[in-house]
Every structure is written in structure tokens, then in C-alpha cells.
Chains A and B, each alone.
Chain A
């Protein structure tokens, strides 16, 4: 991750640019801006050059009165012609207030604005996609904050990714973990236990705040190490529904207010317990096998 520091002008590493003409420096900046991202120069180098150009052109901080006067002279007329300060049509900009000597800057700004607008559209699409997923009632991804000593950033992660990692530690494939849960659930606790030569267990508890309190969704795995005893699941008298997907049979049953999904994969038994609908149960099952 690039770190931008205000060391540009005093950086002797870039002092070679001091010998270049201003026009050449502007051309370098322009070429850099047009180059693919991977081929662009270091940000510190670009800052150094832009500071150099600014110094040579005498662009220094101005007092409020001067800045205001320049605003009314160069930018305010655009309002009267129904243009905006951020008008992308560079012909209009040139024809109005921008001087020839500032043309390169306007092109540079135009490219930045195009980039910014494209980025804005991309962000909007990302957010609208997320909103759509939430509207459908499932949360496929969540943002998790990560940081080190110098930086902070967000990683997109499945709400069950920590559970997947835990199963992976035990050497079990990811296709036993649902990728999606009904919207709003977050991981509260992850418990593991190894009981001698009998069985291992991994239990994840997810919670969701509701108007009535807290809803719980529990995912429980039992890995049989050779014992003859079977996990027993409580159920009521409602019919057990079988759901077959990719040759695996999932059993959906109810236990009073809760619905339970149970499946077995070799010596591995999984259950998901929560107050979800049969339709939500089917979506959870599909997300276990990656659909």
C-alpha cells in the first residue's frame, strides 16, 4: 500500500527533475497519467514534479480576497452559461475562462474527473449489488476491518469465513459451511472441542438483533473419531423434509420454534439451528455446496 508523505520537494532522489524544462515535466506528468496503473510512477515522484511545476509557475497560497476575485473572474461565468465547475466538455472550458497556458492542467483535471466519475459509478454498482443481495434477505459478504501498525483497510469476507478457516484447520473441506446466512447475522462465538478419541466438535453461534431481542443461528459440527454413539437431535412431530443436492441428502425438521438442517458426510455431521423459514433453509443448503 502506497504511503504518501510530504517529503516531495526536499527529496534528493528526485532532484534530477530540477534540470528539466517545465514543458517536459508537464509532458512527463501527462504521460504518467495516461499510462496503465502498473506502469505509473511512484506517488512521491509525481508529487515532487507537480510541486516543482507549481513553484516555477509561481503558484503559491493566495489570500482570500485574491482567491475570491479569481473565482468570480474564471469560474463564476460558467454558472451563467449553465456550465458547471466540473464540466467534462473541455472545449467549453477552453472557450470560456481557462487560459492557453492552463490547458495542460485542464486536460489533467479532465482525466482525473473521468477517473473519479468511473470510480463513482463502480462504487455505486458495488453498493447497489450489495443492496440487492440484502433485499433478497441474505448477506453473502460482510466488510471486516483489518489493520497493522501503519494502515487500516476493509476486507470483504463471508460471514462464515472464520468458521471455514476453523474447519480447514481440522482438514475438512469448505463445502460443509454455508456461504450465506439470512441477513443480519454476525458471528458471536466459535467454540471447538476435542474429546479424547471420541469426537471433535466445532460450534459457531451467530446472532441478529431484532425488535423483539436477539435471534440466534447455531452451526454445529461433530467429527466422529470412532465412537459408536450417535448425536441425537431434538425434533417435534412435524414431518422431516429431505432435500437432495449434489448427491448429498439434507434433512430439514422442526423443533418447536426452531428449524433444523442436518446432514452427514462420511464421519462428519453438521446441523444448523435457527428461526428461519423453509425457503431460507433451502438457500442455506444451496450455499453450502456453492450454488
Chain B
């Protein structure tokens, strides 16, 4: 019985220490310090997604890799992707040799009564790299 208790205790210690390591890996970043994004819809039916990222130091590349604009029909709980913006096609989304980057993209075609949000995938690279996902309403 004592052996079982000791074994159980050992297993719990192992699990908790692994959880600590996992949290550290998730919540700290060697490359990214601060992220912020915001989605607004103007009266012309344009969805603007603004973003800001600050690195931990001067990065080789910093900014946003991908932005997915999603819409939600009135009364629905489902979010549907309506546009995807990739840094490969939009040069203002990434910046070289900088500690920070702020910019925005626009999506024309918002429908009246619909809600919009954006999934923003922040990115910073210097030797290695890191990404952070941010959902901006």
C-alpha cells in the first residue's frame, strides 16, 4: 500500500513539473513581448484590422504572417472565414530589422447586421522564431 502511495506521489510530482514546463513554454517568449489587434467596421462596409507587435529586441523579421477575417450571421454562433491575408502577398504585414511593427489591413464587403472578427497570427524571427495567435473583435 505504501509503495502504491509513494508511486502515486511520484507520478503527481512528475505531472506537475511537466505542467510547469509546458506553461513556461506557452506563456513566455524569447522573441515576442507584446501583441495587440483590433477589428472595426466603418459605415462604408469596410472591416479594418489594426495590429501592433513589440519584440524582445531588434528582430530580423517582425509583424503578422496571416490574418483571417471571419463573419458571424445574425443569430448564428458560427464564425465563417471570408478573407485571408498572407504576408507573402501584403508587404505591409512584416518588417525587417526592427523591434516593433504596427500596421493594418482592410476588407471591403462587410454585410449589414453581421459581426466581424479577425484571427491574427503574430510572428517574430531572430535565429529562431515564435508565433502568437490573437482573436480581435
Taking residues whose C-beta sits less than 8 angstroms from the other chain, chain B's interface range is 20 to 34
Knowing A193-B102, A216-B57, A271-B33, say if A201 contacts B28 (CB, 8 Å): no
> Mostly helix, strand, loop or mixed at chain A's interface?
strand
Q: Interface code B41-75, partner A: CB below 8 Å = 1, 0 otherwise?
A: 00000001011101111100000000000000000
Contacts A195-B52, A198-B40, A229-B37: A255 and B102 contacting too (C-beta < 8 A)?
no
Question: Chain A, 209-238, contact with B by CB distance < 8 Å: what is the 0/1 string?
Answer: 000001010101010000111111111110
Which among A197, A203, A214 is the interface contact of B40 at CB below 8 angstroms?
A: A197
What is the total number of residues of chain A having a CB less than 8 Å from a CB of chain B? 36
Cβ of A29 within 8 Å of any chain B Cβ, yes or no, is: no
Question: Are A198 and B50 in contact, with the CB atoms below 8 A?
Answer: yes
B27-A227 in contact (CB<8A)? no
Expressed in whole angstroms, the Cα–Cα distance for A273 and B54 within the complex equals 9
Given A193-B103, A234-B28, A237-B27: A216 in contact with B58 (beta carbons within 8 A): yes
A191 is an interface residue with CB less than 8 A from chain B: yes
Are A222 and B52 in contact, CB atoms less than 8 angstroms apart?
yes
Interface residues of A in 162-201 (CB under 8 A from B): 188-189, 191, 193, 195-199, 201
The list of the 9 closest CB pairs from A to B, nearest first, reads A195-B50, A193-B102, A198-B38, A236-B28, A227-B38, A216-B57, A231-B36, A234-B29, A198-B50
Binding site for A on B (CB under 8 A): 20, 23-24, 27-30, 32-38, 40, 48, 50-52, 54-58, 98-100, 102-104, 132, 134, 136-137
